Amino acid sequence: METNTKREAASRELQEMSRFPINFVEFPNNYTALYETEPERKIAFEKKVKDILTPLIHRLVFFALDKNIEAAEAKKAGITLEQLQDIRNKLLRGEDVDNEESANNLSKNIEIALNEQPVLLRIIRKQIPNLLPYVLERAKMEMDLEEKEYIDPLTGGFSKKGLEHRFDIEKTRLKEAGENKCLILIEFDINSFKRINDDPNRGHAVGDEVIKDVVHILQNGLRKTDTVGRRSGDEFTVILPGVELDQANTVLQKVAQLVGKVSDRAGSSISISGGARIITSSETLPTYKEVSDTADYAGLIAKIKAPGKIIPYSTELKPDLSTKKKQMEWATLSVKRTFKRKRDEIEQKLANSTSDEEKDNLQEQMKLLIQEEKIAINRELKEIKRTIQFTTQQ
C-alpha cells in the first residue's frame, strides 16, 4: 500500500513537472542580479531562462521512453501510439496539453514510462540543479547577442531594431500615463550632410564624428527615460515618453536646438530638418512603422517649408504642389529620400574598401542606382500630375 501511495504521488508530481517544469526549479536568490535595476530586462531574462529550461526538463521526464515501450504501454493504457507520441512531442516542444482527454492520457503516459516513478523522480531532482549553470549562462549569452542587435555600433545609441523595440515598450505604457501625457517619436536628418562627407578636408571620418556627436549631445541633454538612436546614415530617431501635451512643441524645439550645437568641423554648426508624430492615450495605438512613416512624411515637408525645424505630423499637412517647379521639388525629394539609404550604404562601403575590384563593382552599383532614381523621379512626377488632374475634375 505504501509503495502504491509513493508511486501515485510520484506520478502526480511527474505530471505536474511535465506541465509546469519551471515550478520545480529552485533558482539562486541572485540569479537576476545583473538586471535588478532594469525591470524590463529582468522580465526578459526570466522568460529566456524558462524557454531554455522547459524543454530540458521535459527531456528528463521522458528520457527512458523508446518506441518499444511506447507501443506496448500505449496499448495497455487504452490510447493509440499516435496519441501518446503527440502528447510527448507537444511537451518536448514546450506546448500546452489543453484538453481533458489529453491530460488523462498524459497521466497514463507518465505512469507507464518506467516501473519505478519514485526512482525517476529522484534522478530528475538531482539533475535539475546541474542544469542551472548552463541554462543561466546560455540565457545571458542569448540576451547579450539580442541586445547587441539593438545598439548602433558607431554611436552607442539604439539601432533601428532597438528603436522599434523601445517604441513598443513605451507604447504599452502610454495608457497608464494619463490623458494629459503623450508619446512623441521624432525623425530627422542632418541638412547637407553630404557636403561633410564629400569635403576633402573632412570626409567620412569627420562625418562619423559628427554623427556620434549628435547622439551624444541628445543623450546628455534629454531625460534618462528618452531614447536616442540612429536608423541609418545621418538619419536619427528620438522617442520621448510621458511628455505633457501642452509641452510637445517646446520639446521638438529643444531637440532641434540641442543638435544645432554640434560643430560641422568647418567653423560652423549643423542644422537638421525633421518630423514628429505625437501620440495620445485616447487614440488607437499605431505600429512603429505607421508612426515612423508619418514622422518621415512630416520631415520631408519640413525640408521644403521649414528647413532647420522639426514639425509635427497632422492629416492636414500637405506639400505645396501649386507650380511645376514645386511638383518637381517634391517628386525629387520624396524619391531621393527612398534611395538615400541605398546610396549611403554604397558610399560607406566605398570609403572602407581597399580592393580595386570591389571599388569598381560598387561604383557600377552606384551608377545603376542613379539611373533607377531618375526613372523613379519621373514616375513620381507623373503620378503627382495625375492626382492633381483627378482632383481638379472632381
CB of 331 closer than 8 Å to CB of 384 = yes
The pLDDT value recorded for residue 93 is 59
Q: ∠ CA(38), CA(40), CA(45), 5° rounding?
A: 95
- For domain 150-317, the CATH superfamily is Reverse transcriptase/Diguanylate cyclase domain (3.30.70.270)
| Residues 309-363 pLDDT 10s | 999 999 888 888 788 888 888 788 777 777 777 887 787 788 778 888 888 888 8
Which single residue is written with the C-alpha cell 510621458?
Answer: 242
Residue 106: CA count within 13 A, CB half-sphere: 25
| Domain ranges across the chain | 2-149, 150-317, 319-394
Q: Distance of CA 246 to CAs 181, 249, 251, Å?
A: 9, 8, 10
Mind listing the pLDDT tens digit for each residue in 178-236? 788 999 999 999 998 988 988 889 888 899 999 999 999 999 999 988 999 999 889 99
How many separate helices (H) and strands (E) can be counted in the chain? Answer: 13, 5
pLDDT at 290 > cutoff 60: yes
**CA angle, corner 337, sides to 270 and 160, nearest 5?**
80
